Amino acid sequence: MFGTFQQSHLRIEVNAPASIIRDCLMRPAVAERWLWPQRFSAGLPEEFEVGLSFTSSIGPVVIHHVVDVAQSNCLRCLLSQGIDGYHEWYWGDGWVQSRLEGISLLPLNLSQSVSLWRLREFVASRQQKTA
């Protein structure tokens, strides 16, 4: 794998209960909406499950994912191809934490920061619709 080893660990406040945050992270169809321009391979189940293998792409860069942990408050994917490493999510009422480590040519810290910001905005817009 080409690139440099990078690691990033971020935690943000999100004005939402854990159940809404969980839906945004554990349901591929929902996650793909706020992770734009990242796209998942077709045919994914309603929720991520341990052992699920799929790809995502960001333009010409393809990332292979294998779901290693899928619990009520945690999701971890092992990554290969465009990123060799892992991405781990934890959440609870009012917060989300993301840890990303890997070797890549992509700017992982910037990508992670943008993704968390987009998640917070997406959750906020969902909260407004239900209020």
Report the first-to-last Cα separation within the chain, whole angstroms. Answer: 47
pLDDT > 90 in the chain, percent: 82
Architecture of domain 4-130: 2-Layer Sandwich (3.30)
Which residue is associated with the tokens 């960001």? 58
Report the C-alpha gap between 122 and 25 in whole angstroms: 11
Mean pLDDT of 65-84: 97
Which pLDDT belongs to residue 1? 63
Report the C-alpha gap between 111 and 78 in whole angstroms: 17
> 6-51, pLDDT tens digit by residue?
999 999 999 999 999 999 999 999 999 999 889 999 999 999 999 9
In single-letter form, the type of residue at position 55 comes to T
pTM of the complete model beyond 0.85: yes
Mean pLDDT of the chain: 94
Report the C-alpha gap between 77 and 89 in whole angstroms: 9
> 90-107, pLDDT tens digit by residue?
999 999 999 999 999 889
Report the C-alpha gap between 101 and 25 in whole angstroms: 18
Instruction: Say whether pLDDT at 125 is over 90.
Output: no
Q: Three-class SS of residue 114? A: helix
